[in-house]
């Protein structure tokens, strides 16, 4: 079976995050990495491949440097990667991003498409739903246990009322949680072998998408302003000159908090 995993190149967890004041977008010029829960999706795809055979391909929309993240996926054991990168795609929101990913997946026709539950930079947790809707595929989200059998996929997920067990026919789209597995680390052999694996790079034109289907033109959301959070009222600063403890106690007693 063919398994596609949609991933995202996000700012590294240790990098300082800031918004670009001129574009109102997240500054992505620093170091990047694979989105954490996408690692769980990749791991699950590789486990399914080990049990059922077939091919695993990772897909992303992003800048050219997203190849670094895709190379890690290849080192983990993925067979090939597809990067959609285009200057016209800058500023794509959920809707525009889903159009590009759905176009790739329509061409690839995977039996199963996996997503991580949410991205660390956006945390929207809805992209997989938009892609599934465009492809007209059944969707299961927040999956903690996944099984494939007899042309169906079954996902088990925890809710506040217990567990849901949902079965859908293949082809299908599944978003996995970080509880589903523990992602493997790339081996030295995998890292070296990743260099020889197919790494396709596509433009929007290659997918048959016009300029109005991606970037700001293809987006339906707009950021109209960016400002720092308002300072908290009543804040008191205490410098430690050797009497900080006494000053803190006095402050709490004054406000009847101690």
| 13 within some domain | yes
| 248 within some domain | no
Q: What is the mean pLDDT of residues 207-215?
A: 86
Question: For 167-203, how does the pLDDT look when each residue is reduced to its tens digit (9 = 90+)?
Answer: 999 999 999 999 999 999 999 999 999 999 999 999 9
pLDDT of residue 71: 95
Looking at residue 89, the DSSP 8-state letter turns out to be: G
| 253 within some domain | no
| 189 within some domain | yes
List 219's β-bridge partners, or say none.
none
pLDDT of residue 124: 79
| 87 within some domain | yes
The answer to whether 104 and 84 are in contact (CB under 8 A) is yes
| 15 within some domain | yes
| Gap between the Cα atoms of 54 and 50, Å rounded | 8
Helix (H) / strand (E) element for 68: namely helix 67-76
Question: For 54-71, how does the pLDDT look when each residue is reduced to its tens digit (9 = 90+)?
Answer: 999 999 999 999 999 999
| 125 within some domain | yes
Quote the strand ranges of 123-255, DSSP E.
139-143, 145-149, 152-159, 162-169, 172-176, 199-202
Which phi and psi (to 5°) does residue 81 adopt? -130, 155
List 137's β-bridge partners, or say none.
none
pLDDT of residue 24: 67
| 197 within some domain | yes
What's the number of domains the chain is made of? 1
Global pTM reads 0.84
The answer to whether 183 and 40 are in contact (CB under 8 A) is yes
Mean pLDDT of the chain: 90
Looking at residue 86, which CATH number applies to its domain? Answer: 3.40.50.620
What's the domain range around 59? Answer: 2-213
pLDDT of residue 221: 85
């Amino acid at each position: 079976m063919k398994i596609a995993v949609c991933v995202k190149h996000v700012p590294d967890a240790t990098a300082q995050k800031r918004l670009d004041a001129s574009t109102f977008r997240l500054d992505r010029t620093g170091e990047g990495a694979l989105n954490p829960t996408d690692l769980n999706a990749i791991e699950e795809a590789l486990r399914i491949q080990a049990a059922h055979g077939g091919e695993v391909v990772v897909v992303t929309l992003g800048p050219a440097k997203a190849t670094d993240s895709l190379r890690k996926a290849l080192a983990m054991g993925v067979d090939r990667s597809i990067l959609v990168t285009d200057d016209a795609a800058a500023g794509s929101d959920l809707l525009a991003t889903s159009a590009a990913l759905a176009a790739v997946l329509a061409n690839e026709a995977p039996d199963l498409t996996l997503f991580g539950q949410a991205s660390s930079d956006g945390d929207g947790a809805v992209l997989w739903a938009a892609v599934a809707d465009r492809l007209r595929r059944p969707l299961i989200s927040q999956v903690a246990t996944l099984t494939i059998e007899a042309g169906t996929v079954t996902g088990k997920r925890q809710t506040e009322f217990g567990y849901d067990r949902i079965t859908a026919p293949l082809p299908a789209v599944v978003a996995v949680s970080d509880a589903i597995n523990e992602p493997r680390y790339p081996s030295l052999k995998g890292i070296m072998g990743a260099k020889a694996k197919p790494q396709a790079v596509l433009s929007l034109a290659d997918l048959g998408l016009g300029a109005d289907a991606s970037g700001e033109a293809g987006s339906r959301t707009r950021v109209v302003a960016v400002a720092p959070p308002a300072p908290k009222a009543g804040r008191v600063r205490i410098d430690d000159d050797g009497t900080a403890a006494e000053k803190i106690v006095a402050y709490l007693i004054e406000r009847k908090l101690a």
